[in-house]
Amino acid sequence: MALSTLGYSADRIAEIADQLFDLHDTQMSRPRVEGGIGGWSRKEILGHLVDSANVNHQRVIESVLSGSIVFAGYAHKEWVKLNGYQDLDWEEIVTLWCSMNMQFCSMIERIPLEILDTVHAEHSYELTAFRELGSGEPSTLGYLIEDYFAHLKYHMDQITLK
């Protein structure tokens, strides 16, 4: 699985960051009620994506090292609140998001295909994935990575669409 097949690469992350830098802090600070997560602002949505990059980076590394795709969930609402994204400058959050995702892309490119495509009977995607997968359905680490980018796209649409 190449990142390019998912539409993401370090270059694509940089392009998205450039678009995000053009958005204004005032607009990004207002809560979104329609289609948002409990009225999160765009700052908090992007902060959630920073947290997601952090959590999924760790999950992928743990999977490569352990050979397992069973992961604990995380309290995403509490992470956003504790990290205080609403109080940060928009540019700071964009920079953090860009750095985390460029590193995530770089790390993924180093994983051998046979590890990404290894089928596991046991996983936790019914609890931890954006696109939930039943516990009886086998899956791969590659699914987790594809799911991460689907989650990223979903929230990017919330940030960039009016």
In Å, how far from its chain's centre is CA 35?
A: 18
Distance CA 58, CA 46 (A): 19
Q: Cα dist. 158→41, 125, 133, 154, 162 in Å?
A: 10, 23, 23, 7, 8
pLDDT at residue 150 tops 90: yes
| pLDDT given for residue 8 in this prediction | 81
Give the pLDDT confidence score for residue 7 in this predicted structure. Answer: 74
How high is the pLDDT of residue 75? 95
For CA atoms 116, 144, 16, 43, the dihedral sign is negative
Per residue in 114-133, pLDDT tens?
Answer: 999 999 999 999 999 999 89
- List alpha helices for the chain, DSSP H: 3-6, 10-21, 25-29, 42-66, 76-83, 90-108, 113-116, 125-128, 141-160
pLDDT given for residue 112 in this prediction: 96
Counting beta carbons within 10 angstroms of the beta carbon of residue 45, is it exposed (0 to 12), middle (13 to 18) or buried (19 or more)?
Answer: buried
What pLDDT, on the 0 to 100 scale, is given for residue 106?
94
The pTM is what? 0.91
Is residue 25 predicted with pLDDT exceeding 70? yes
User: Mean of the pLDDT values across residues 69-90?
Assistant: 96
Which residues are CB-neighbours of 130 under 8 A, at least 6 positions away?
147, 148, 150, 151, 154
Q: What is the mean pLDDT of residues 23-42?
A: 80
Give strand pairing partners of 31. 41
Q: Does residue 161 have a pLDDT over 80? A: no
Angle at 40 between CA 34 and CA 45, to 5 degrees: 105
Four-point Cα dihedral 140, 142, 146, 151, nearest 10: 60
Q: Give the pLDDT of residue 126.
A: 94
Q: Is the pLDDT of residue 5 over 60?
A: no
Mean pLDDT of 43-61: 97
Superfamily of domain 3-160 in CATH is dinb family like domain (1.20.120.450)
* Average pLDDT of the chain, as a whole number: 91
Residue pair 141/118 in contact by the 8 Å Cβ criterion: yes
